[in-house]
Amino acid sequence: MTTLDSTTAAATPVLRQRVLVLYLDNSALDSRVIGWSRYDGTGRSSPTAGDSDEPPYETGVAALLDGWRLIQASQLIPPYPGGEYDVSFLKHEFVFEQLVDIGAAHGAPAATG
């Protein structure tokens, strides 16, 4: 029978997800950020409605450059017949994630993704 020694256990990452949602000016990922939301699976921060006036990134690509991984982008869906001039939800939503090792022994949690 084998057991994990303490060195192996300490090296096992404990991953949690941070989510960033960016709303962009058009369907291009390098267009301007017009809205943003954050959710923190590490529990170390509690972002909420109306907590900042400045976006974390100027464009979607800027988030990629900072290590965020894109996991979902809005589809481009034609307007419903008769509703071509209606305004409703923001159309260009991009969802990003970072995986954070909350088991890191020292300092700030390490983003892995």
Partner 1 sequence: MTETEAEPETAATTANGEPRGTLLSSVQMARFVARGALRLDAVVPDGMNAEALGVLADGMEHVPYGTPLSQAYREGSFVQRLLELPQVAGALRSLVGPEPAVDHHAVHIREPHGGEAQPLHADSIIDVRPDAFDVQLMYYPQEVTLEMGGTLSVPGSHLRRTNETDTGRYQNLRGQDRLVCPAGTVVFLHHGLWHGGRRNDSETVRYMYKIRFAPRVRQRLLWDTTDLHDPRVNSELDVQFPWYEQAAGRLERYNRVLLWRELTGDSTFDLTHPWVTRVTNRPTATAPGSAPVRSEEDAA
Which residue type occupies 73? A
Residues 44-103 close enough to bind partner 1 by CB under 8 A: 47-53, 55, 85-92
Which residue type occupies 96? F
d(CA 93, CA 105): 35
In the numeric block, which tokens belong to residue 89?
């939800």
Residue closer to partner 1 by CB (options 35, 67) is 35
Residues 25-44 close enough to bind partner 1 by CB under 8 A: 25-26, 33-38
Cβ-contact 20, 97 below 8 angstroms: yes
- Taking the complex as a whole, the smallest distance from the CB of residue 22 to partner 1 amounts, in Å, to 11
Binding site for partner 1 (CB under 8 A): 21, 23-26, 33-38, 47-53, 55, 85-92
